[in-house]
Amino acid sequence: MGAEKKWLFTLFSASFVSILIFLSTICGFSFSYNYATHKPFSSVVHRGPGHPPAFAYYISGGRGDADRIFRLLLAVYHPRNRYLLHISADGTKEERLKLGLMVKSLPAARAFENVDVIGKPDPTTYMGSTNMAAILRAATILLKVDAEWDWFVTLSAMDYPLVTQDDLSHAFSSVRRDLNFIDHTSDLGWKEGQRIKPIVVDPGTYLARRTQIFHATEKRPMPDIFKVFTGSPWVILSRSFLEFCVLGWDNLPRILLMYFTNAVLPQEFYFHSVICNSPEFKNTTVNGDLRYVAWDSPPKMEPLFLNASNYVEMIQSGAAFARQFAKDEHVLDMIDSKVLKRGRNRATPGAWCTGRKYWLMDPCSQWGDVNVLKPGPQQKKFGESINRLLDDWKSQLNSCS
């Protein structure tokens, strides 16, 4: 009876997957095969000097964000990159399974095997240190599974790109690969009294249920063996700097990690303080995060949600990404249609996509040379934005001063 049940389960699973594949195909996902060899069309990915840069994306979200994470993956997908997707511990096993199945429905992701979903999720407490721990874990995983990407990019389910991956790679092709795009300042202002001196504990480090941080009754003095820097929590970091943070030939990253474990929103301080207190890396900091964000005046705790009224300013900003967006916000469809040229449930097309542009067929279900780039009209504004940041960086002897 046990063997019969196992056989029935296997048969059911195979049928279920077949149905999912059929349904995903008629909903817009295409599966393209080379019928001469019965294998997906393939191309060799070339990395390193002389080839376009590659990015390692960490895309995170919470309960109910599986569809948003997958849409963002499609918007930033390219076979040369690496992707790690994370639904935090407040999400369900079913959501992670659904996300994994959606990833499998993407022909290129199956062929290049460059997208992973974290199966054992991390807890993430708002404003607590568990968010920082999840980012460092993601960086460690990406360093372990792929040895040749150039920059680490953090995105949330509420983010969206304003350029294609061909645009991004083309602009970064002329950037030194040890540079880090990290918005930073040593002018702490009100953050010193409200986010550094207060001692907080993140219950997510030891409780299974989700809760908020709690404050100790006393405050701590500012440190005097290192200087605290702050800035945007969204970063684009070089592989060499991430290795410095997680592989440990210097104790500075661990000292600062212990210190910021008890700070409010440590992701606004940790990388900024590590890089600016490190003699090896402090002059590799380009002061910008390449994000478009809109704020109230005076600014509140979180930026404004973006909509169609922000579209023109977003596109003209020359930013690579924008945040934050509500789920299924109409302006995302505008970006897909006008900027990314991306069809529903399809990857953003690039020079690597060679399939016919037909409503039943995804152009990116077939591909040629994935090492060739074809930047679009938006690349000009983005390239100008990168050049301005680099000019500012070159004009400063110490970019962390």
**Radius of gyration of the chain from its Cα atoms, rounded to whole angstroms:** 22
User: Could you tell me the CA-to-CA distances from 208 to 79, 83, 211 in Å, in that order?
Assistant: 36, 27, 9
Helices (H), 303-400: 311-316, 330-335, 378-394
- pLDDT bucket at 336, cuts 50 / 70 / 90: very high
**Taking residues 241-253, what's their average pLDDT?**
93
- pLDDT bucket at 6, cuts 50 / 70 / 90: very low
- Residue 249 pLDDT: 83
The answer, yes or no, to whether residue 35 has pLDDT greater than 90, is no
Task: Let me know: does 18 contact 44? Beta carbons within 8 Å.
Answer: no
Q: Chain-centre distance of CA 19, in angstroms?
A: 31
Residues 305-335: tens digit of each pLDDT: 999 999 999 999 999 999 999 999 999 999 9
> Domains, the chain, ranges and CATH?
54-190+222-394 (3.90.550)
Strand segments (E) across 202-282: 214-219, 236-238
Q: Chain-centre distance of CA 313, in angstroms?
A: 23
- pLDDT bucket at 397, cuts 50 / 70 / 90: low
- pLDDT bucket at 71, cuts 50 / 70 / 90: very high
- Residue 398 pLDDT: 65
**Taking residues 87-97, what's their average pLDDT?**
95
Cα–Cα dist 117/137, whole Å: 13
The answer, yes or no, to whether residue 286 has pLDDT greater than 90, is yes
Cα–Cα dist 346/288, whole Å: 30
Cα–Cα nearest to 126, from 375, 298, 302: 302
- 83-115 per-residue burial string, b: 16 or more CB within 10 A, e: under 16: bbbbbbbbbeeebbebbbbbbbbbbbbebbebb
